[in-house]
Structure 1
């Protein structure tokens, strides 16, 4: 049994070392062959959770064998319980919060339709200016033209009416009042 525990411990440690040192390199070299292991659908079965449990199972088995007088089956079960507890803790306090923190800052230009913006560079009736649009937690600059073909001064509040070829066509909110 001690050999099995050492095997679990060594396998877990080697997996951790290989993934930390060579993880991205191997993924790119093998063209994503192991991407299915990312656990996108079964987060509980992610390699981090499984191999940490395997490593703890091996380490706990070794320690319990050497420093307790418990029998073989009792050690196997106690080490397995330690591994399950550790895997649960890693999942609940590391994997799950990291899942929830993955936010995208990407947006589509079409998402800007209906957004209120502020003119930063005046927009002539038949030309282009620039607006500042709040997108997510930041502000983005975009080229803008007047939808109504009217001059719009710097500092004016506008609303995006349409987006054509990356240009926001805006209308002044002051004229709509």
Structure 2
């Protein structure tokens, strides 16, 4: 086996070992990722796949006695192509993960039910089904009018962490069902 073939073999094995470590141990090499909104091209898995493809392709090129320059170009192209494919695939998987990130802005326009009456000048509580589940929120009347318990309301604004709500025209929850459509 030539020195060139041994070099490609070592690169392929290092890439394969690095890939196994990042899969088994976790994100050990992701310190090179930029941003915190997903995966970058310097993710450990991407680098490991690119190294493995580079080494394996280079080894195959030496086995088939392809000239050194063409073998190196094929190995580099293979490393880039497989690295790009790994980057796109892993990025897709990261985007599919659920998130618990939530903002009160997400509640604007949503409908809820008053659970603790809202006085004209005092807050009460509303229950709203939002992106992170059903929760109870502190709320005030946006029009300065009292809103009784059981009234369906729409979130029209925010005042800090307090929801500003306005009553819906179809007064209260209908036939024993609350704003989520569940039986009481």
**TM-score calculated relative to the size of structure 2:** 0.65
Q: Name the CA distance, whole Å, in 2 between partners of 1:102 and 1:11.
A: 29
SS in structure 2 of the partner of residue 51 of structure 1: helix
Alignment RMSD? 3.5
The within-5 A match list for 1:74-85 is 74-85=70-81
Distance 1:133 1:115, change over 3 A: farther
Q: In the superposition, relative to structure 1, how do residues 161 and 63 fare at CA in structure 2: closer, same or farther (>3 Å)?
A: closer
Residue of structure 1 aligned with 2:26, choices 9, 23, 40: 23
Structure 2 CA distance for partners of 1:49 and 1:168, relative to 1, 3 Å: same
Query: How many residue pairs get matched?
Result: 161
Deviation at 1:174, TM superposition (A): 3.2
Secondary structure class of the residue paired with 2:135: strand
What is the aligned partner in structure 2 of residue 117 from structure 1? 111
Aligned to 1:97: 92
Structure 2: gaps of 5 or more residues: 171-184
CA distance in structure 1 between the aligned counterparts of 2:118 and 2:163, rounded to whole angstroms: 14
In structure 1, runs of 5+ residues without a counterpart are 28-33
